[in-house]
Amino acid sequence: MGRLFRQITALAAMNIRSIPQRLWMSLSTVVAIALVVAVLLAFLAMGNGFRQAQSSAGAPDIAILMRDGAQAEINSVVLRDQAVLIEEAPGIAREAGQPLVSAEIYVIVDGVNRANGLKSNLPLRGLSAAGVALRHNIRITQGRMFRPGTNEIVAGLSVVREFAGFDLGKTLRLGQSNWTIVGVFEDGGTVRESELWADVGTVQTVFKRLNSFQTIRARLSSAAELPALKAYVAADPRLKLLVETEQEYFAEQANQSSGLIQWLGWPLAITMAIGALAGALNTMYSSVAARATEIATLRSIGFGGVPTFAGTLAEALVLALLGGLVGIMAAALLFHGYTASTLGANFTQVVFTFRVTPGLCVSALFLALAVGLIGGLFPALRAARLPIAGMLGEQ
Amino acid sequence: MNQGLLVAKNLGRRKLRTILLLVAIFIAFFLYGGLESFQRAFYASSDAAASDRLISVNKVNFTLPLPVSYAARIAAVDGVKHVTYQNWFGGYYQDPKEVLFMFAAEPASYLDVYSDVVMPAAQRQAWLADRGGLIVGRTAADKYHWKVGDHIPISSNIYSRSNGSHTWDFTISGIFTDANEKAREGMVLMRHDYFDESVTFGRDTVNMFMFTTTSTQLNDRIAKAIDAQFANSPDETTTDTAAAFNRAFAAQLGNIALIITLVVATAFAAILLIVGNTLVMSVRERTREIAVLKTLGFSGTTILAQILAESLLLALLGALLGLGFAALLLKLISSITAGFVGSLLMSWPVFAAGIGWAVLLGLVTGAIPAWSGLRLRIAAGLGRR
């Protein structure tokens, strides 16, 4: 057993040291695998970033109530009377005696994308004081919060960065009214940062929706109170509303759209990997062919078939590993932290950051090693079966 | 011996290697054919939109309402031919997660503005006569297995009816095609008057006015005149060509074109390396043979031509297989998808450009080995092993 192991390591080391002799073929395999890995990681990092922006936004102790079947805030309509009923519901947290219930209006306004100069859909959310209080995680990093009853807007940092005209102090014309950006808020890069916030009453007036809202959010005194709220809503025929936690809602939104990105990334990468595999097989077969005499010599002085097999496979795996690592480095350098935006489930732009995470790198490395494994397996079998006498005699 | 036979023999001498190269080339052209066709389909609606068609939407954002009364005032602007309007309905059939590409539209004027929307005269009449009638595009009808005369329930994720329900009953009046804008065949259209009489809110407002002009040269002037007419009113408009509107909307999804270009370029870069290196190696292995051929009187240029022919043949064969397979797959996919993307079928320009890339690939990968074949000195070549 010890002898077999020594033979394997000796042959593996010898093969790997001889890679430079077949520099160009080996290099083309490494680069081809690196390209496959980089493409896969680009898609995975995009999907992951988009998912992260949304799923990290939801709190487990905030309930969101929408019209049953609406699927997204933008489609939902709830009425003032319904909001009042929710304020009386069990399990709702209170601050200074006031229920933390926020009836919110959600409308879409145009912003100009800095990257292409074209109009894009941005959400303008109308909030009451309770609505602001609900979102205690956000930080105002420039200026201040809007004042109730005014035409003031606070903008999420993502909006300010990706779209022109929302910097602190800028004036915005919506319909017949002028609005001023009085503050910029941050929320750790979540989808909330892709929103504009203003006073709910003012938005209702300007957009002529005096008695209607899109959603009701309510802070629960604890996440365990959700069933009580659900039961209360189900028991009242005036409340045909769907109740879920914000966490559930955002997770669903993330799934709906990021599914597509992931759905595209793997098949594309696997298809490309088949091309790279063809290259790897060629490289390894020619490596075996080039070393035929050497292999026969080794076999005749007592090296077994298994070490010959393992040595060739090791060479392929080392090439694949190199390719994988180069691909990961390229992806991390080129894509990690890159921001982009796309239409989310609410028909508005969701700004997200590409995230190349260790977990994704591991999946990408697996793909690279799979190419190496299959690309090395068959040539290694051939190497192990080379007829000794024939090869030595041929010269 | 015939030159062509020599080329074929060279490709056939190491069958496995040739097959593997073909697989690599196949993959690259398969990706190119599939992705490029997808991209064309994706941007098709903006390119196909008739140049005399304009769109007016709310200046704040196109999802916001405008009064339906604007239709008459737009029609009164000099140079405007036909005006129609529509409302996004948020409709779905059975599965709430699969939202239909569905609008409430004014029938007669819609068919005037979208004159490429074609269906049998009887079906057209049926829609004009039946308030609860629905016309659906060919792709949408195929997807949901709808036939003319079918009674179907469609729900809205936005609107409610006065009886509290979210579901409307429709009869399919007609199934239409649109040879010019294939994406339109994924549409479902209900009548705006039916919408207006049954919804609990959103009456007398629409999302969008679409109209044709008497001459494309008037487009700019007409757009300005319309927007000026509603300036400083509670509902200001912004007017643009349908093509520009569609382009801006497509851009909102992201820079799809850039992503596709990068993926295809990466795939090509990988096979360029693989095929190029393998050919260099394969010609190096044949050094002695080439020297022998030269001894027999084959000129350097003949050798060069032979090697280039070999690389071109390889590239073209792989490309034809890849493009062919992509075309087949697209045909399969296009019969099961409906909605926002136009025809996925591979177009001749995509195919022709693919063949062009294959020729370029063949020339580039063959260049170095062909050059070394041309330059090879007999004495040196015969001595090499």
Which of the two residues, A253 and A262, has the higher pLDDT score?
A253
Cβ of B23 and A275 within 8 Å?
yes
Question: What's the sign of the alpha-carbon dihedral B256, B257, B262, B263?
Answer: positive
Instruction: Check CB contact of B266 with chain A, cutoff 8 Å.
Output: yes
Q: Are B214 and B79 in contact (CB under 8 A)?
A: yes
Tell me, what's the pLDDT at B335? 66
Please tell me the predicted confidence (pLDDT) of residue A96. Answer: 84
Q: How many CB pairs below 8 Å do chains A and B form together?
A: 147
Cross-chain CB nearest to A342 (options B90, B254, B271): B254
**A284 Cβ contact partners less than 8 Å away, ≥ 6 residues apart:** A312, A315, A316, A375, A376, A378, A379, A380
Residues within 8 A of A (CB atoms), B 142-171 only: 155, 157-158, 160, 164, 166
Going from the C-alpha of B163 to that of each of A40, A80, B84, B159, the distances in angstroms are: 51, 19, 29, 12
Contacts of B60 in chain A (CB under 8 A): 109-110, 174-175
pLDDT tens-digit map of A224-240: 999 999 999 999 999 98
Instruction: Report the residue from B31, B253, B270 with minimal CB separation from A32.
Output: B270
Residue A276 with chain B: CB contacts under 8 Å = 24, 270, 274
What's residue A118's pLDDT? 93
pLDDT of residue A393: 54
By the CB < 8 Å criterion, does A330 face chain B? no
Chain B positions touching A120 (Cβ under 8 A) are 251-252
> Which residue of chain A comes nearest to B164, CA vs CA?
A240
How far, in Å, CA of B164 to CA of A354, rounded?
44
Q: Does B240 touch chain A (CB under 8 A)?
A: no
**According to the model, what pLDDT value does residue A165 have?**
92
Each residue of A197-226: pLDDT tens digit?
999 999 999 998 888 999 999 999 999 999
Residue B46: predicted pLDDT: 66
Question: What are the pLDDT digits (tens) for B136-190?
Answer: 999 899 889 999 999 999 999 999 998 888 999 999 999 999 888 878 888 999 9
What is the model's pLDDT at position A395? Answer: 45
Diameter of chain A measured on Cα atoms: 97
Task: Give the B window 207-236 contacts with A, CB below 8 Å.
Answer: 232-236
Q: What is the DSSP string of B65-104?
A: -EETTHHHHHHTSTTEEEEEEEEE--EESS-TTSB-EEEE
* Model pLDDT, residue B1: 52
Q: What is the pLDDT of residues A61-105, one digit of tens each?
A: 999 999 988 889 999 999 999 999 999 999 999 888 889 999 999
The alpha-carbon gap from B119 to the nearest alpha carbon of chain A, in Å, equals: 32
The tokens for B347 are: 């177009």
Q: Which residues of B touch A70 (CB under 8 A)?
A: 157-158
Q: What is the pLDDT of residues A275-289, one digit of tens each?
A: 999 999 998 998 888
Q: Contacts of residue A108 in chain B, CB cutoff 8 Å?
A: 61, 63-64
Tens digit of pLDDT for each residue in A115-137?
Answer: 999 999 999 999 999 999 999 88
Q: Does A339 touch chain B (CB under 8 A)?
A: no
- The one-character DSSP state at B286 is T
CA–CA separation, A46 vs A50, rounded Å? 6
What is the reported pLDDT for B286?
Answer: 86
A181 and A154 in contact (C-beta within 8 Å)?
A: yes
B248 touches chain A (CB under 8 A): yes
User: What is the chain B residue with the closest CA to A38?
Assistant: B266
Q: Considering only alpha carbons, which residue of chain A is nearest residue B251?
A: A118
Q: What is the ipTM of this complex?
A: 0.87
Q: What ranges do the domains of chain B cover? A: 3-46+255-383, 60-235
- Cα–Cα distance, B25 to B317 (Å, whole number): 9
- Rounded CA separation A191/A177 (Å): 27
Show the low-confidence residues of chain B (pLDDT under 70).
Answer: 1, 45-48, 335-343, 384-385
Task: Quote the percentage of chain A above a pLDDT of 70.
Answer: 96
Q: Which DSSP symbol is given to B155? A: E
